[in-house]
Amino acid sequence: MRRFYLDNAPVNGAARIGGDEARHIEKVLRLGPGDPLELFDAAGSVYRAEIESLGRGEVVARIRQSAGAAPEAGAQIVLCQAIVKSQKMDLIVEKCTELGATAFQPFFAQRSVPRWDAGQADRRVERWQAIARAAVKQSGARRVPVVAPVLDFSEMLALPFAGCRRAMLWEDERGTGLRALLADAPGRGIALLVGPEGGFTAEEAARARRSGFQTAGLGERILRAETAAITATALAAFAFGVVGG
């Protein structure tokens, strides 16, 4: 069944779908009255619905069944990703959402390229949030991860990350691997700190340790930033039972 994102909760048993989703339903898929839909919203609620009417950029669907909101409890996989080039960042958000990331915290590291002003950063966050919604739509996940505003390194380190173990991926760490930290993660929660294309500096690693992050490696291979983010998210999702059966 086709899945579509719902901006607003249904009212009196009717859901109103607008914007790109409505255009996709009407112009691309050419669906019409009586066709079934599955709808989901940011809270994780899922609805089985049937198209009632279309027109003027809006689709009205009648709710036939509601699955309720996804439970708040469960694995937390927070990906704190240093800003990398646009296409790589898009890929990270898409694939890590599919794998089970529950939140994204982008930030500027010392070696981050590019750097944007506040307006540019806000537009990027909007784009990544849209990518995350599309990935949820494709993957069948129920809850859309939140993409938080871009922070600088110090602001990111000061975040509480409640219920999460803190792990910084660092290529110079040889003593501790990510799998060991995941095996001991309290409450099935982890905040993964992943660097930019040029990696973290030794100064950043030291600051992260003082802020409660433990440095961890991914083995002998040096992975690209986007590969490291996807690999770490996949390992966390497997460890917490989100993927892998």
Complete domains list, the chain, with CATH: 3-68 (2.40.240.20), 76-239 (3.40.1280.10)
pLDDT at 69: 66
Classified as helix, coil or strand, 143 is coil
Classified as helix, coil or strand, 59 is strand
Query: Which phi and psi angles does 159 have, rounded to 5°?
Result: -65, 150
CA distance 130 to 138: 12
- In order along its 245 residues, the chain shows pLDDT tens digits of 889 989 888 999 999 999 989 999 999 999 999 999 999 987 788 999 999 999 989 999 999 998 776 654 478 999 999 999 989 999 999 999 999 999 999 999 999 999 999 999 999 999 999 999 999 998 888 789 999 999 999 999 999 999 899 999 999 998 999 999 998 876 789 999 999 999 999 999 999 999 999 999 999 988 999 999 999 999 999 999 999 87
CA distance 242 to 38: 22
pLDDT at 83: 98
CB atoms inside a 10 Å sphere around CB 31? 18
Residues β-bridged to residue 38: 3, 48
Q: Is this model's pTM higher than 0.85 or not?
A: yes
Residue type for position 217 = G
CA distance 234 to 209: 23
Residues β-bridged to residue 68: 46
pLDDT at 71: 57
CA distance 209 to 206: 5
150 secondary structure, DSSP code: P
